[in-house]
Chains A and B, each alone.
Chain A
Amino acid sequence: MTDLQWARLSNDAFNLALFAYLAAMVGYFAYLAFGRDLIWRVSRTVAFVGLAGGVVSIVARGFAANRVPWGNMYEYSVLLATLVVAGYLLIVEGMFHARTLGGFALMFSVLTMAVAVSFLYVGPGPLVPALNSYWIKIHVQAAIWGSSLFALGGIVTLLYLWQDRRERAQLTSLRTQEPPPIMGGSLDVDPGVGVGASSGPEAPADLDPDVDEIAPSGAVAKSSRLPSAQTLDRVAYRIIAFAFPIWTFAVIAGAIWAQEAWGRYWGWDPKETWSFITWVIFAGYLHARATSGWKGRRAAVIAVVGFVSLLITYYAVNLWIVGLHSYAK
């Protein structure tokens, strides 16, 4: 196949992926609303079709340009969207069996791809000299994996905050109507307080950042098709704890590359600064999880701030802030 044919295939596969994601997103929201198993099965299949389209688009793009297919913002966006969907299907659904969150993950990917194709599209072509290094394989890959996982963690955290508020509201109304049910402490008003209850005799509560106990969903959570707040919190933590070392590695690899390309490993370039800010915020989140009084909602708010910072690191820094990473065009 010629470069041009590869480029066409890449664009066709992109369109397929975008529409499949859009359809799957609608399907997942319908599943959330109506809870019919068939809707979930169809949506999941369509999401997998979209994922295949995304992968084909990325690979074909690489063949069209004869280089790694993540050399500009358009390509990075496609990869990011693909990895968020893959991460959702494999981690959130595959490992944590939470099926109702698909619409939110797909919405992120659809928006990312829509922005990419509307504002960031460039044809396949060779890299500018500053990017022409084997570090693009290492640094950019790590950055994309880290970003997509942080994004997924951020989405789940937002849902946690929403669900948590809902559960609290219902709990309050339950309490006003009848005496509280005996729930073994797991429905404590402050999720942070009940955590240490089942730990061993030597386990201080604030040394346990990963609240691993699977909470009984109980009367409150059953009224919603979303997983319980505690489950969402746990899933979000696991994803972010998985993403954090990858992001750390991406920043370090970037510093090593900067030393090779620009003669200094750190220069407070806007991209460096913002990836540092994102790193600091998620580091704060991990610490907050281990600090009494900061667990639960406060920590979640920090993670959401980190998610926003991630979006700024990606979009705002590339498009509006002048710096060495302005590769959008």
Chain B
Amino acid sequence: MMGTRMPTSPPTLSRSLMLAWRTLRSMRTALILLLLLALGSVAGSLIPQWPNSAARVVEYQARHPVWGDFFERAGLFDVFGSWWFVLITVLLFVSLVACLIPRTRSVVRAFRARPMQAREIDAFPQHQVMAVNGTPDDAIAAAGRVMRRRWYRVARDADRPAIAGEKGLAREAGSLMFHWAFILILVGVIFGKGTGYSGYALVVEGDSWFDAAANYDGQIRTGRFFDGDYSGTGIELHDFGSAYRQTGQPMDFVSQVTLLHPDGSPIRDQDIRVNHPAEVNGLRIYQVNFGWAPRVTIRDPGGEVFDHEVVMDRVPAPDGVPELAMPWRGVVKLPGEGPGGRDVAIELQLWPDGEAYTNFLVTGQPTAMLRANHPVLRYSVWQGRLTDLANDRLDTSLMRRTARGLVGEGFSGDLTTGRQLSPGDVGSGSTISFPELRQYSVFQVGRDAGVPIVLVAAILILVGLLPALYTSRRKVWVRAERAGDGSMLEMGGFALQRKPQFEEEFTKLADAIMSAAGGPLPTEPSESRHKPTEQQVGIP
């Protein structure tokens, strides 16, 4: 059907569809699609991608506006989410299914059908004739036993003493399992990502955090079919610890937490570290980041206006400076708290190691700060108008700096003069205190119910691959005829793959059948004949 040429007539819709379908089914199309997929992935790995490195995309766009614009339009900044990558994938899967359905049908048929009898068996690549000591029926029964013992499926001829055997359907079955498993992966990915979510939770030491939409602070990606059913599970962070070698190479990051029920009652204590996530209520919690969060108290003559941990960001390190040598930055925004109702912002810079800071001031040499050691907080006070209330940046275009100073852990400073205050001194009444330095830990929190499906699919891929690559389809026929007191056995067979191995296997099979069928006939010498091997083919 597939091979017949269509009569030449104007193309109709159904004929075009047929043509498209047949093109999709061909191995050549699948190959080209596979290579296109690889090509797209190459682009995805060389060009910075929005989901992996947004900052580098922005940088690239600023540096190469023309190319940046082109890449953006072509979806090259998000290759793996672009319409054309999805299209290639979909076409590949359609082609795969189109190819798999008929192949699966024929394998199922082959499993159901009994091995076919052959009319002539002396034309097969492997062929042997031998005289044995039993009746034809006994010899065929013995051959059947030997073949079954070697995992051949056999069928006895109804009319005469002959038997057909075949083996190696595992090759095609394995190949099909391998290919169908990719459909299963697709199902697992779509189900898991579609119904799940993944976000980042920032928790300061001593605080608790609960799994709910609002608490992700926008740092969350939910699946298309996610119904808003957050688990409500809580994480209480007791302590975050990091250990470094003297060279600054990190050794260990660990968060000691108590996992909580939605009502705040404890589930269990656990250490979450890199490579050791916590799993609770279908939720997986990973250690992904950490940083410093100094507690800062700000008072004005009217009383306390701010008392909270300030989450600090790393200052990006210039080339050649170790990241650990860089200070951390943060900001406190106090709208309307200044004189005359003006907005106030306090810009903070933290040096976790005070000695490293002093050293830097004296020598100009940055040194890695591996642990907290007399931390110091530098601050600048700005007054004027705030343009936004985000706490990860400060726009000072409408503001004026009124003071700056430095305060050590456990001390206070004067916000008007920038002077460090001794205990008991209240200065101008507007003060900043730095009672303690804490750390925060960032967890990736998410649910992906598709993971087990994808895992099963991955196992099926491997399990299917082995027979698909290393076994072969083999067919063997044996027939017997009465000859004197015993019978003449004629054997023929071939393998579709791994032919040299089959030659050896065939000889062994023949020997086993011969001895099972009563051994060689003693009176006549057994006649054994091989087809000429390939080495001899060339001789005319």
Contact = CB atoms under 8 A, between A and B. Distances in A.
Interface in A254-271: 255-256, 259-265, 267-270
Contact of A212 (B37, B253, B462, B499): B499
Contact of A273 (B27, B34, B41, B497): B41
Interface stretch (A8-16, A144-152, A276-284): A276-284
B223 to A, nearest CB: 13
Contact of A209 (B276, B284, B475, B497): B497
Given A214-B534, A216-B534, A280-B34, A126 B494 contact: no
Contact of B462 (A218, A252, A269, A277): A252
A274 B45 contact: yes
Contact of A287 (B27, B53, B56, B497): B27
Given A129-B251, A259-B451, A263-B288, A200 B496 contact: yes
A138 B44 CA distance: 27
Contacts of B540: 182
A260 B34 contact: no
A264 B52 contact: no
Interface stretch (A59-67, A81-89, A243-251): A243-251
A40 B80 CA distance: 51
Contact of B53 (A183, A215, A248, A322): A322
A199 B451 CA distance: 44
A317 B45 CA distance: 9
Contacts of B30: 287
B42 A263 contact: no
B38 A277 contact: yes
B324 to A, nearest CB: 14
Given A276-B41, A277-B38, A268 B496 contact: no
B277 interface: yes
B274 A245 contact: no
A290 B237 CA distance: 57
Nearest to B37: A280
Interface in B247-304: 249-253, 273-277, 284, 286, 288
Contacts of B56: 322
Contacts of A270: 45
A125 B80 contact: no
A130 B534 contact: no
Interface residues of A, number: 68
Contacts of B496: 199-200, 202-203, 207-208
B52 A277 contact: no
A125 B247 CA distance: 11
B125 interface: yes
Contact of B469 (A198, A208, A245): A245
A267 B540 CA distance: 61
A184 interface: yes
Interface string B484-524: 00000000001111111100000000000000000000000
Interface in B382-406: none
B27 A200 contact: no
A188 interface: no
A261 B455 CA distance: 16
A19 interface: no
Interface in A197-233: 198-203, 207-210, 212-216, 218
Nearest to B472: A210
Contacts of A212: 497-501
A291 interface: yes
A252 B461 CA distance: 10
Contacts of A281: 35, 38
A200 B469 contact: no
A128 interface: yes
A286 B498 CA distance: 15
Interface in B436-479: 444, 446, 448, 451, 454-455, 458, 461-462, 465-466, 469-470, 475
B433 to A, nearest CB: 35
B499 A133 contact: no
A322 B250 CA distance: 19
Interface in A287-318: 287-288, 290-291, 293-294, 302, 309, 317
Contacts of A248: 461-462, 465
8 contacts: A198-B125, A200-B124, A200-B495, A245-B469, A263-B277, A273-B44, A280-B41, A284-B31
Please name the 7 residue pairs, one residue from A and one from B, whose CB atoms are nearest each other, closest first: A200-B494, A184-B537, A263-B286, A133-B275, A273-B45, A129-B274, A263-B444
Interface of A: 125-126, 128-130, 132-133, 135, 182-184, 186, 198-203, 207-210, 212-216, 218, 241, 244-245, 248-249, 252, 255-256, 259-265, 267-270, 273-274, 276-277, 280-281, 283-284, 286-288, 290-291, 293-294, 302, 309, 317, 321-323
Given A201-B494, A264-B198, A288-B31, 16 more contacts: A129-B252, A182-B538, A182-B540, A184-B538, A198-B534, A203-B496, A216-B534, A216-B535, A245-B462, A245-B466, A262-B286, A263-B446, A268-B80, A280-B34, A281-B35, A321-B46
